[in-house]
Structure 1
């Protein structure tokens, strides 16, 4: 039985993506051709390093979304390593689905800069260089620092108290030492913070930048994750106190430290 990748925040991602239906008159060979269109595109699978079988079951409604989540977890934990090339058919077999939703999920990751298309082979996992991470941190700071300063002036202290459980969740996730678990809780905390600005486009753009900058998660040790999480609670304290200078200093340090 195929099992799934370790999920974020200590949970486990799906054990198996629902099996896809085969027409009654379809032969096994014909089914394979239909399910794996990449074979016709020359995505060679021989000699490719087999991945560990998934360890848990995907439970979301969209197959593509399930695969995307599982692939992001594999990237965050380092199961999919920089420089490796993976074909959609092989990954599809791993998850028990056709190559199509895998290819679609990989195209999304390509648009995020996590992988690149390798003609006739599949997708190569990329590693973000120091310059790219610094640029992402700079863009995030240009967006988030002014927003946080405005929120420090306008949001009542009790609203910040409502976000305390999310900050504490990042501390618990960091303590596990699991990069994927921490990455998800970290995004949830920042999403909730920026959500108080009431601008959905701001939240969407900031989260995309945040996800891109998390390419170093697998390189971060448990102590680094714990230190990063501690900055969340310190930031909440500064926001609740309306201390603009402390907010600016903490946000800039937090973004630089994660770059």
Structure 2
């Protein structure tokens, strides 16, 4: 059922976003990635209107890279410009979320399972630290860090299949998805269990157990649309 659009009101300050201040360059890309993660995690909610200056204050950077990043997100359909106000977070319908998850299951499960026979152990072990970041973020309740590490983990796995276009397609689907239930999982103490499934995936791949990889991946993606649904 489609999400009904309500009259949007300016967003409250909300939870603090990760500070991106510092000497490192490429603020625009870094801010855009952090904003996407905040959108997926549900920290920035559908219908909310955010100005570049208000988001810049939460990131600890100037308004210019934030405004540029938001314009990138407009092109991706994640937000829409509101004249003289800022940017409104777009809504995603339940049907769209179902479709995104279905496509991901068709692509990610068999592709990841096939890595049990082809992926080099060293390449798989390189993702162990990222899996650890996911667990750490779950324990800390840092949803933006959780989503960011989760994306890097799964895209890193898919990259081992050697199909760059496939990785791009899945990345786009992940950017468009919204994990509205993450906050509830943190409060219930259930997010850490889901986070540890990333280690299970690596263990099954290293054991060359394709059946087990498929089983864990199926359960893991099921959480996206089950436990993580609105």
Q: Report the TM-score range of the alignment, normalised by the length of the smaller protein.
A: 0.7 to 0.9
2:204 maps to what in 1?
A: 238
Cα RMSD (Å)? 3.1
Matches within 5 A, 1:43-62: 48=10, 51=13, 56-59=19-22, 60-62=24-26
Name the larger-Rg structure. Answer: 1
Q: 1:78 to 1:163 in 2, by over 3 A?
A: closer
Task: Choose from 151, 173, 177 the match for 2:141.
Answer: 177
Unaligned segments of structure 1, at least 5 residues: 1-46
C-alpha contact (below 8 Å) 2:41/2:147 kept by paired residues: no
Q: With the length of structure 1 as denominator, give the TM-score of the two structures.
A: 0.67
Do residues 148 (structure 1) and 140 (structure 2) align? Answer: no
Judge conservation of contact 2:48–2:89 (CA < 8 Å) in 1: yes
2:132 to 155, 164, 168: 168
Rounded Cα–Cα distance in structure 2 between residues aligned with 1:161 and 1:96: 35
Offset, 1:176? 0.8
For structure 2, the 5+ residue unaligned runs are 1-8, 226-230
Distance apart, 1:91 and its partner CA: 4.8
Q: Distance in 2 between matches of 1:87 and 1:68?
A: 14
Structure 1 residues 215 and 165: alpha-carbon distance in aligned structure 2, compared to 1, 3 A threshold:
same
Query: How many residues are treated as equivalent by the alignment?
Result: 212
Residues 57, 89 of structure 1: alpha-carbon distance in 2 compared, 3 angstrom cutoff? closer
Within 5 A, what are the aligned runs for 1:211-226?
Answer: 211-216=175-180, 218-222=182-186, 223-226=189-192
Residue 214 of structure 1 and its aligned partner are, at CA, apart by 4.3
Aligned: 1:123 with 2:87: yes
Distance 1:213 1:78, change over 3 A: closer
Paired residue secondary structure (2:47): coil
